[in-house]
Amino acid sequence: MDTPALALGPLLHEGKAKRLYATADPQWCAVEFKDVATASNGRRQVRLPGKGRLNCQISARLFTLLEQAGLPTHFRELVGDGWMLVRPLRMIPLEVVLRNRAAGSLLRQLPIVTGQQLEPPLLDLYFKDDALGDPFLSEARLATLKILTPQARVQLETMARQANGALHQALAGLDLDLVDLKLEFGWDASGQLRLGDELSPDNCRLWDRRQSPHSPGRSLDKDRLRQGLGGLVAAYKEVNHRIQALGLQPRSHDPGEGL
């Protein structure tokens, strides 16, 4: 992956798909999207050249879409190939999963058929902890962990539902069915709740409405790796190509502006 056109500070955090670096300005961090895909909680790892750049482009456009819909996110601008500048957040250790249709873990836990519509969308909270396997949180477990005040919980769930609604609607216009997605939130320096992490086919299920429901080609997301279908980078390229039709112009870094 190319290095970004700005001076990087120390590596602050390395996750499965991204690295987070400090920059010369404490107000901003740089995120590098890695050319790696993982499944089974990181136990399976595959190198996929081109994937990082695609996830960065897709995320930048979808963050821009949500910002335009009035939802605060951590995204500032694209910088180089596969990099973006973001606002540092104090992350809330929750995986917020919105489900518009039944798929994935839900099928193993409830007597429900693949693709069954969930109206209103189901919102599930998981505790973000790889060592514990990201366990599902009941109301009582959430209260025990004291992760969120009741007011912050309402704010987070409202924002998560708004993000899901806006994305579901925009993607439907591109013949992409947003089946489910995982969101992560954090607090910025001024105490504002913002959407963080990424918005890419690594973190959501997208079914191609142009393919028959039983075709393996219908999954344009990380299920291609989970199910050993192959063609993950080609699928992400197709998603990026369709999203370009939304005409969103994510901000791009101007080296003259400093950092």
Which residues make up the interface to ligand UDP (CB under 6 A)? 95, 97, 103-106, 134, 180-182, 203-205, 222
Whole-number minimum distance, CB 191 to ligand UDP, in Å? 26
Question: Quick one: DSSP state of residue 3?
Answer: P
Whole-number minimum distance, CB 101 to ligand UDP, in Å? 11
Nearer to ligand UDP, 35 or 95 (CB): 95
Nearer to ligand UDP, 94 or 204 (CB): 204
What is residue 203's three-state secondary structure?
coil
Helix axes 232-244, 51-68, angle to 10 degrees: 30
Whole-number minimum distance, CB 21 to ligand UDP, in Å? 22
Please answer whether residues 186 and 206 qualify as being in contact, where contact means their C-beta atoms are separated by less than 8 angstroms. no
CA distances 66 to 33, 117, 166, Å, are: 20, 23, 7
CA-CA distance, 1 to 125, in Å (whole number)?
33
Nearer to ligand UDP, 79 or 106 (CB): 106
Whole-number minimum distance, CB 247 to ligand UDP, in Å? 26
Nearer to ligand UDP, 50 or 104 (CB): 104
CA-CA distance, 45 to 9, in Å (whole number)?
27
Nearer to ligand UDP, 29 or 98 (CB): 98
**Position with the least CB separation from ligand UDP:** 104
How crowded is residue 252: how many other Cβ atoms within 10 Å of its Cβ?
A: 11
CA-CA distance, 64 to 58, in Å (whole number)?
10
Whole-number minimum distance, CB 132 to ligand UDP, in Å? 12
Nearer to ligand UDP, 6 or 39 (CB): 39
Please answer whether residues 77 and 252 qualify as being in contact, where contact means their C-beta atoms are separated by less than 8 angstroms. yes
State the chain's maximal CA–CA distance in angstroms: 57
Whole-number minimum distance, CB 112 to ligand UDP, in Å? 12
